[in-house]
Copies of this chain bind each other. A is one copy, B any other.
Amino acid sequence: MDCELLTVGTELLLGFTVDSNAAVAGRALAAAGLRLVRRATVGDDEAAIRDAAAAALDRTGTVILTGGLGPTRDDCTREAIAALFGRALVRDPAVLAAIEERFARLGRGPMPEANRRQADVPHGATVLPNARGTAPGLMLEDGRGRLAVLLPGVPGEMQGLLEEEVVPRLLQRRGAAEPAAILSRTLRTTGISESALADRVGDPARILGEHLTLAWLPGPEGTDLRLTAWGLAEVPARAALERAAAALRPLVGTHGYGEGDTDLAAVVLAELERRGAHLAVAESCTGGLLGARLTAVPGSSRVFVGGVVAYDNAVKLGLLGVSADTLAADGAVSEAVAREMATGAARALGAEAAAAVTGIAGPDGGTAEKPVGTVWIAALADGNVRTFHYTFPGEREVVRRRAAQAALDALRRTMRGGD
């Protein structure tokens, strides 16, 4: 069952508000096996709402609208949809009583006249009670079975009504057939570009079969591969996802570090804890990001003892014990300094494992030999030190995020051995 989403609000078009409702609604519909095939946004403009809703109804027969049900003069979704369906707006006494009761209960004083408009309902519409706010949801169907669903734009109210009132009714309309769940499964990778990964995976068709799709989601921390099952009931969907994930894993190889929303910092901390090892970090260009990644994980204090942000070379010399000779000979951004930072952090903080990052995040500081994006990383674990060299693309903050992730990956690779 296909449907379209129409989010209403001039603020959305101007970009003053990020349209989080669109993502929330997309997830709620997909989880119920309802396919959102298109979404659109228009301003608080009755004609634009009417035209966009009519086009959506022509395509799929079902349109869900969010926003424009508030008490102010620019809210006109009710009017637009009543006109499109050729219905009069009628003030509903039960809805009005519920709004007045809500005002009284919250002790907000006398209800403003503007809020009475929120009790206007297109003739024949089903009212969906809104426990979280004043504007109820509305469902309106015409003689040809075409359906408009009107929901408030306040995110919590929209989500509550959609999940509790709308999705069950849409599933009921679809009838008794087993709903096709839209399920997904994500493999996380790092340390390999999206296109190099695509080369390794090759033509995904032989992995996917007819009910799965594969999405590539690149970001500063790596590329996620998301498998999604379409048009299958839940049990066969899970089986198909498991088969495809098993086929992808060897192609992804050692670049894969987990599934779902697994965080690489949590993977590294768990592996260190299994070994009974403690971790210290030494950071130059990341300036604390690596420590922040590790300490974002609840319980990290069982493994992570702390770190030194050695932004100035004097701190590398003083707290980490990097040798002045190495700094002078190789420069602060070098393999030798990264190595001495890692061993120095382990020594100074009393840890068995350590990671160190030194690099040039930009925008200034690059040279022909060491351009912006040059990063050296050293990882100490299981008594071994390994070093890694990168030239990361991107702006300052992207380089820093990539470097922090690469330092975590250096620890993972040093512990797992091999390549």
Chain A interface (Cβ within 8 Å of chain B)?
10-20, 22-30, 36-43, 48, 52, 55, 70-74, 102, 105-109, 111-115, 132-133, 154, 156, 182, 184, 193-196, 198-199, 203-204, 213-218, 226, 228, 278, 281, 283, 285-296, 298-301, 304-312, 314-315, 318-319, 348-350, 361-364, 371, 373, 391-398, 400
Contact of A308 among B13, B204, B309, B312 (CB under 8 A): B309
A109 to B195, CA, bound (A): 11
Query: Do the beta carbons of B315 and A305 come within 8 Å of each other?
Result: yes
Tell me what chain A mostly uses at the interface: helix, strand, loop, or mixed: mixed
When all copies of this chain in the complex are counted, the total is: 2
Contacts of A70 in B (CB 8 A): 194, 216, 218
> What is the minimal beta-carbon distance from A292 to any residue of chain B, in angstroms?
4
Query: Do the beta carbons of B305 and A312 come within 8 Å of each other?
Result: yes
Contacts of A395 in B (CB 8 A): 132, 156
A299 to B361, CA, bound (A): 11
Query: Do the beta carbons of B315 and A311 come within 8 Å of each other?
Result: no
Contact of A72 among B26, B112, B216 (CB under 8 A): B216
Query: Do the beta carbons of B281 and A309 come within 8 Å of each other?
Result: yes
Contact of A305 among B193, B311, B397, B400 (CB under 8 A): B311
Query: Do the beta carbons of A373 and B106 come within 8 Å of each other?
Result: yes
Query: Do the beta carbons of A195 and B71 come within 8 Å of each other?
Result: yes
Given the known inter-chain contacts A36-B13, A184-B16, please indicate yes or no for A318 contacting B350, CB distance below 8 A: yes
A400 to B29, CA, bound (A): 29
Contacts of A311 in B (CB 8 A): 291, 295, 300-301, 304-307
A–B Cβ pairs within 8 angstroms, 26 of them = A12-B22, A15-B27, A15-B28, A16-B226, A18-B19, A18-B20, A18-B23, A38-B48, A39-B40, A71-B194, A72-B216, A106-B373, A107-B391, A108-B196, A112-B198, A132-B395, A287-B296, A287-B300, A288-B289, A288-B291, A291-B311, A299-B364, A306-B308, A306-B309, A314-B350, A318-B348
A292 to B361, CA, bound (A): 12
